[in-house]
Structure 1
Amino acid sequence: MKMVIIGGGPAGRSAAMEAAQLDAEVTLIERKHVGGTCLNEGCMVICGFNDVVKFHKDSKNYQKLGIISQESSIDYSKLVKGIKQTTGKISNILKHETQQTGVEMVMGEATIREGVVEVNGDEYPYDKLLIATGARPFIPPVPGAEHASTYKNVLDWKEIPPKLNIIGSGVIATEFANIFSSLGSEVKILCRNKFLSNIDPEFRDYIAKHLLPGVEIQENVQVQEINPDEASTSQGTVEGKVFLATGMTPNSEIVEGMVEIGPKKEIIVNKQMKTSDPSIYAAGDVVGTVGNTPVARREGIIAARNACDISATMDYSLIPQSITLYYPVSFIDSGEEPSEDEFDVRIRGSAGPGSFWHALDGETGFTKISSDLQTKEITRVSSISPASRTSMPYLAKMMLDGYKASDFDDFIETHPSTDAVYKLLHFLSKY
């Protein structure tokens, strides 16, 4: 079976390696960068910035405590150069890793016609086709929007902007506000509705107060016009560079007219990642489901298995999510409405790896777990701690498999740890 995959990001690469291991003849086509948005413009770029930001914040704290005598300063051009070098190295590793499984990799722009993909004048016939072309920043229909930046060109900036106005209210807006406020920018977040509306209000308030100190958050703001160094809004004019974090638009144009496309330009798929054309599958950000890398990888694997006639189904329940800040903010939600029997327990973060020195000022995060007292089922978990991103996916898996709070009665953690999850579960098991 010949399978052609367009897009070398997490969904496409995972699908290519899975299909190759299932003995398909796989060709993976990538237009620009192996690793996709996550590696080259998104998640890993955020991680690169955040590592330096955390060191910078720590040095300020240690200097304030008298532990070190000098405060660090940031060379933005060298920081950007280092991020590009690192992501480039990882991209080469991913390319080699993919080819080692027997996948043929082709770099270039793809076009599709019935049963054939053409790249650089060469034709690649297929039995099954997977579209994993990702998404791009959504540019709102605001006059002057072309003057604004997005995550795609932040590595092209020559310096840290003195003033930065971030239009958006979600994860991307929050992460970049943290980065550039820590680097010295005067940052405003301009939210059309409510800031971080999809997370627990307690955690939203903690983020605004403790993890984004100095960032001005304005809610219910309508942006009316964008200029090179300012934006006009319903609450007045704000000076400074404008950064758009207003959502994503799927890159589905390549199959327009071939498969069903949704109202937000997402490719419509079922839980087997099949499109309306029986020979075409789609996975990753282009299908507009949950926009994160682990979900894209899983969707790619599900698509590859079904394309190779192995039945598999995508499950979107209990997906752990996070926001990359000084402490990772991680959360799981069962999606069920709180019942009268739901019981919340919470605990403040304690001193340990990553938070020891912040015990002095109380900035150690906290964790909250919700459980149904009748069924003992865990319904929601949210945590702000250095270990939250590590523990959350395992807890999601245990919740998915039907574990109850009582099953954690004899749980033993790895010490030292600042993750309070085990303490709260032990407490809930007594009820």
Structure 2
Amino acid sequence: MDITVIGGGPAGRTASIEAASIGENVTLIEGSAIGGTCLNEGCMVVCGLNDVSKFLNDAKNFENLGIIKNNYEFSFKEVTKGVKKTVGKISHVLETETKDAGVKIINGVGKLKEDYVVLNNENLKYDKLIIATGARPFIPEIEGAENGITYKDILNLTEIPEELIIIGSGVIAAEYANIFSNMGSIVHVLCRNQFLSILDKNIKKYVTKNLLPDVNIHENLQTNKIYKDHVSTDKGEINGKVLFATGMTPNSEIAVDMVDINEKGHIIVDDGMQTSHESIYAAGDVAGKIGNTPISRAEGVIAARNACGIHSKMEYTYIPQAINLYYDVSFVSSNNKDEGVEGYIPGSAGPGSFWRVLEGMTGLTKININENRDINELYSISPSSRTSMAYISKLLKEGQNIDDFDDFIEVHPSTDAIYKLMRFFARFE
């Protein structure tokens, strides 16, 4: 069977490898570089910049403690150069890995027809098609919006903006506010509503106070006009270069005449990632379920299996998520939240947080459990929470509740306070 996948990001690449491993003839079409937005412009770029941001934060702390004297010069141009080089190497590895799995990769932008894709003046026939074309930055309709930049432009900057205005209130806004404030910019975050509304109020308070202490956060504010070096709002003017972090727009135009699309532009799929067309599937950001890389990969696998005739269903319970700041801010929650009992404790001293004990900044862990002792919500802020939360998510998916953690044995030393809080609740009725 001939399976064509459009898009070489996390969803498309994973779908291609999965279909090839099943034994089908797979062609992957990618218009740019393998790895998609996550690798080339998004998650991995944030990781590279945040590593430097953390170093600068640590260096400042060690200087305040009298441990070191800072005489270094910081070059943002060299940072972006290094990020590009590293991303390029990873992309090459992913491309080689994909080809070794038996996938044929073709570069180009195709046009979709009933049972074939028009690409480079050729008609590529398919039996099943998987659309994984991702998404692009959403630009709000604000006068002067052309004066702003998005995450796609970050690596083209040659120096740190003296003043930066981030329009947006979610994860991307928080991550770039953290990076640029640590690198020396005066940062303002302009939120139309509330900043980081996805977080519990206590967790948000910790984040804004301890992890984004130098960031100026403006909530319930309307941006009226954007200029090259400032913006006007309903509460006055603010100076700075504008970075949009206002969400994503799905790249679904290729399929607009072939499948059903919702009002936000996402391709509508069922729990098997099948569209309204029996031979077409969609996965990742273009399908608009939960916008993160692991979900995109999982959806790619489900789409590939169903396209190959192997019945599989995508499940979205207890999805672990994280915000990439000085400490990881990680969380997981049940889809069906009930009223429950809350508890929280400070983070532990250990690798990555030892030298923050003196200022009382070791993180925070908070839990909410219902009357059946199931976990409604779990938040953890620590250097290790991103990894811990993924395994906690797996246990929760398998039906574990608070009582199952009474005999949990941790690895020591660790900054993970999750197990401490769980064991505490497990010992009390």
Q: Give the % identical residues.
A: 54
| DSSP-derived class of the 1:310 partner | coil
Identify the residue that residue 395 of structure 1 maps to in structure 2.
Answer: 392
The ranges of structure 1 where at least 4 consecutive aligned residues each deviate by more than 3 angstroms after the TM superposition are none
C-alpha deviations, 1:66-111, integer Å up to 9, x for none? 1112254320100000000000000000000000110000011111
Identify the residue that residue 12 of structure 1 maps to in structure 2.
Answer: 12
What is the TM-score with the length of structure 2 in the denominator? 0.98
C-alpha deviations, 1:154-173, integer Å up to 9, x for none? 11112100000000000000
Q: In structure 2, how many angstroms separate the alpha carbons of the residues matched to 1:95 and 1:122?
A: 23
Q: How does 1:72-87 map to 2 (within 5 A)?
A: 72-87=72-87
Identify the residue that residue 23 of structure 1 maps to in structure 2.
Answer: 23
Q: How does 1:271-290 map to 2 (within 5 A)?
A: 271-290=271-290
- 1:381 has 2:385 as partner: no
Find the partner of 1:418 among 391, 415, 418. Answer: 415
Q: In structure 2, how many angstroms separate the alpha carbons of the residues matched to 1:85 and 1:123?
A: 35
Q: 1:361 to 1:71 in 2, by over 3 A?
A: farther
What is the TM-score with the length of structure 1 in the denominator? 0.98
Backbone CA RMSD of aligned residues: 0.9
- 1:428 has 2:418 as partner: no
Q: In structure 2, how many angstroms separate the alpha carbons of the residues matched to 1:414 and 1:119?
A: 53
C-alpha deviations, 1:381-409, integer Å up to 9, x for none? 00100110000011111111110111111
C-alpha deviations, 1:236-269, integer Å up to 9, x for none? 1111100100110000000111100110110010
Find the partner of 1:362 among 360, 363, 367. Answer: 360
Identify the residue that residue 227 of structure 1 maps to in structure 2.
Answer: 227
Number of aligned residues: 428
Q: In structure 1, how many angstroms separate the alpha carbons of the residues matched to 2:205 and 2:141?
A: 30
Q: In structure 2, how many angstroms separate the alpha carbons of the residues matched to 1:346 and 1:182?
A: 28
Q: How does 1:57-76 map to 2 (within 5 A)?
A: 57-76=57-76
Amino acid at match of 1:46: V
Find the partner of 2:402 among 382, 400, 405. Answer: 405
Structure 1 residue 196, shift from structure 2 partner: 0.6
Q: How does 1:14-413 map to 2 (within 5 A)?
A: 14-339=14-339, 342-372=340-370, 374-413=371-410
Q: Is the 8 A contact 1:173 1:245 kept in 2?
A: yes
Q: In structure 2, how many angstroms separate the alpha carbons of the residues matched to 1:384 and 1:72?
A: 30
Amino acid at match of 1:354: G
C-alpha deviations, 1:329-362, integer Å up to 9, x for none? 00011133332xx221211012100000000111
Structure 1 residue 307, shift from structure 2 partner: 0.2
Q: 1:82 to 1:31 in 2, by over 3 A?
A: same
Greater mean alpha carbon deviation, residues 397-406 or residues 16-25: 397-406
Structure 1: unaligned runs, 5 residues or longer: none
Amino acid at match of 1:103: V
Amino acid at match of 1:314: M
Amino acid at match of 1:102: G
C-alpha deviations, 1:40-80, integer Å up to 9, x for none? 00000000001011111111111111111225432010000
Structure 1 residue 430, shift from structure 2 partner: 1.0
Q: Is the 8 A contact 2:114 2:258 kept in 1?
A: no
